[in-house]
Amino acid sequence: MLHAAARIEDGRAEETPSMVVIDTHLARGASNGGFTFHDRGGPYGRTKGAKRVVAVDVTGLPVAAVVVPASTHENRASELMLELLARQGVTDRLELVLVDRGVTATAARALGRDHGLEVRRVGWDDKQPVFRPIRHAWRVEVAHGRLGRSRRLAKSFENTTTSATGWLQVACIATTLRHLSRERARRRPVVLAA
């Protein structure tokens, strides 16, 4: 509901997006991380923590968020996110989903076929030592950065995926509320004293 309200404030014609970007972020586990949740993942399986999966629309606001164990493959993380979006009723108008190259081409085709939409892998073919933003996909990186400002998300402190997902969703709600309050403040007319 908050996301729909933010889209309306931004002047979008529809409450639900036609395109989302899905990406994961590996959060290092804190020293109190539980054995049932924090496991090794990331590059070469060296990082102990949890994987945060976020979907954003073209405005850059989070549409949905979920946390999975760090060892969860990108294919499965994207599948779980699409299932969550379907349960939330976001996929009714959805046509295009952008994912990074961590999702295999075979999995992207299967996800698109299963959900009746286009799942497109985005990324640079050539490896360059400099950061180059990818059109539309950079919005999810900005969202991960904003969500990371929440002190509770500095590391993965939780012992269960349910608790970690709850705190991630609280951060998403706070981000959306901040966006709404800024938009409304911008539209409020300035009254000059006589």
Q: What is the DSSP letter of 45?
A: G
Residue 96 has, within 13 A of its CA and on its CB side, a CA count of 10
- pLDDT by 10s per residue, the chain, length 194: 888 888 888 888 888 888 999 999 888 776 655 555 556 666 666 667 788 999 999 888 899 999 998 888 999 999 999 999 999 888 888 999 999 888 999 999 999 999 999 999 988 777 777 777 777 788 888 888 888 888 888 777 777 888 889 999 999 999 989 888 876 666 666 555 55
Collapsing DSSP to helix, strand or coil, 156 comes out as strand
Go through the domains of the chain in sequence order and give each one's CATH number: 2-124+134-183 (3.30.420.10)
pTM of the predicted structure, to 2 decimals: 0.82
In 3D space, the residue among 96, 93, 100 whose CA is nearest the CA of residue 144 turns out to be: 100
Please check whether residue 57 is in contact with residue 174, taking contact to mean a CB–CB distance below 8 angstroms. no
